[in-house]
A = this chain, B = another copy of it.
């Protein structure tokens, strides 16, 4: 197995997320997965919320599975919209709101995903975005 993202890269992403989370004053759960959705690195900042332990990982996975940021899923899953009800599929593995971002390598290939959880949806996305910046 040759992974699409190394542990070193994943830890650098987590550090960038952690720094951004500290700046905005919201301790976060931060997860990085590879291009198959498998967990490479995870960190729960002190005094974060337990809900984010699970949801951060699933946001990262959802970004990879859909090949898009999770906040772009939100409009598609509303009542009457094309993917309405999809969050109930695949046994609770999907998160259909912001906080998960897709990572692509320099060649444009999908490399993995970052998921962040514990703040508002906008804060979560902002922190995940900070992680993506140090990868791209």
Rounded to whole Å, the gap between the CB of A21 and the closest CB of chain B is 11
Q: How many positions in chain A have a CB within 8 Å of any CB in the partner chain? A: 58
A55 CB contacts on chain B under 8 angstroms: 86, 89-90
Q: Are A37 and B36 in contact (CB under 8 A)?
A: yes
Q: How far apart are the CA atoms of A82 and B55 in the complex, in Å?
A: 14
Given A2-B109, A7-B45, A41-B43, A77 contacting B82 (CB threshold 8 A): no
CB distance from A125 to the nearest CB of B (A): 11
Residue ID in chain B nearest A18 by CB atoms: B7
**Nearest chain B CB to A66's CB is how many angstroms away?**
5
- Knowing A79-B79, A84-B77, say if A1 contacts B90 (CB, 8 Å): no
The reply to whether A36 and B50 form a contact with Cβ atoms under 8 Å apart is yes
Copies of chain A in the complex: 4
Within 8 A of B (CB), among A57-81: 58, 64-67, 74, 77-80
Q: Collect the chain B residues with CB atoms within 8 Å of residue A44's CB.
A: 7, 38-41
Further contacts, 20 of them, CB under 8 A, given A78-B79, A82-B121, A83-B121: A1-B50, A1-B110, A2-B109, A6-B46, A36-B50, A40-B43, A42-B43, A50-B65, A51-B65, A55-B86, A77-B84, A78-B80, A78-B84, A79-B79, A82-B97, A85-B87, A87-B88, A88-B88, A89-B95, A92-B92
